[in-house]
Amino acid sequence: MLSVKNAARLSLIFLLATLLSGCSARHPIPLPDESRPPIPEQVHPPADARAQAASELIRQARQLLEAWQPDHAINLLERAVNLNPSSGQSYYYLAQAWLMKGDVRQAMEFNSLAEIYVIDDSFWESQVAEQKTQIDHLAANPYE
């Protein structure tokens, strides 16, 4: 004779088995969206030749900025951006150059681009943040 207790046990096992079978045997449902390849993983720009060449230009531009020649520096930094659009330093120094030229709006734009590309680099993150504070201050007090 099957006791009530045993019947309950069996029912529970049956229910669990049913549930598990539902999970394992999936019937494909036609999808409205045709299947597509996965979105490629983010490819981080490697420290490749272009990046190295850009670094060289950035180095030269920094020297020009130190010599207070923002226009010449901008020319080099534009080339650096063309070579390595993911270099946050290029945008940082471009912002710096535009600050030297007194164009706070352009400096702000370049600073915001620098922000995107210095993530994962705490030193440059702090530099860009500091620059942002300076730009915000200048924007708020244009006649200082």
Partner 1 sequence: MGLFLFYCRKMTLNTTKFKPVILMFLLPSIAGLIFLIIYSLSLSILIETRFSGRRWQIPSTVFSDTTLLYPGQRLYPEFLHEKLARLNYRDVISTPTQKGEMKSTFNGFDIFLYNAQFQTGMREGFPVRIHHQNNIIESIVRLDTGEPIPILELEPEELALFFGPERERRQLVSIQHVPDHFIRAVIAIEDSHFYEHYGISPLGILRAIYMNLRYGKIKQGGSTITQQLAKNYFLTSEKTISRKLKEILIAVILEMKYEKEDILEIYFNEIYFGQKGSESINGVGEASFFYFGKSVDELTLLESAVIAGLIKGPNIYSPYVDPEACKARRNTVLKAMQKEEQLSEEALRSLLAAPVRTAGFRIDPRKAPYFIDYLYKQLHTFYSKEDLSSLGLSIYTTLDTQVQQAAEKALEKGLRRLENARPELNRSQPEKRLQGAIIVIQPKTGYILAMVGGRDYNHSQFNRISQARRQTGSAFKPFVFLSALDQFTPASMFSNAPKSYPTDEGEWIPQNFKPTPDTPVSMRTALAHSHNRATVDLAMQTGLDRIIRIARSFHFSTPISPYPSLALGAFEAIPLELARAYSVFAADGVQPYPLSLKNVTGRNNIILNRRHMQIERLISPAKAFIISSMLQSAIIEGTGRSLARLGVSFPAAGKTGTTNKYRDAWFVGYTPDILALVWVGFDNGDSIYSTGSSAALPIWADLMKAIPQHISETWFQVPPGIVKRKICPASGLLPLKLSCPVVEEEFFLEKNIPDTRCDIHRLRIFRNIIQGIKDVVR
- Report the first-to-last Cα separation within the chain, whole angstroms: 96
Which of residues 85, 124, 125, 138 is near partner 1 by CB under 8 A? 85
* Angstrom distance (rounded) from CA 50 to CA 62: 18
CB 89, min distance to partner 1, A: 14
Count of residues of this chain found to bind partner 1 when the rule CB under 8 A is applied? 58
Residues in the chain: 144
39 near partner 1, judged by CB under 8 A: yes
Q: If you ran DSSP here, which 8-state letter would residue 97 be given?
A: H
Residue with Cβ nearer partner 1 (6 or 18)? 18
Contact 136, 115 (CB under 8 A): no
The single residue listed with the structure tokens 């046990």 is 9
CB 54, min distance to partner 1, A: 9
21 near partner 1, judged by CB under 8 A: yes
Contact 87, 54 (CB under 8 A): yes
The one segment of 5-13, 46-54, 125-133, 135-143 that binds partner 1 by CB under 8 A: 46-54
Which H or E run includes 66?
A: helix 49-66
66 near partner 1, judged by CB under 8 A: no
Residues that bind partner 1 (CB under 8 A): 14-15, 17-19, 21-23, 26, 28-40, 42-46, 48-50, 52-53, 56-57, 60, 64, 71-72, 74-76, 78-79, 81-86, 106, 109-110, 112-113, 115-117, 119
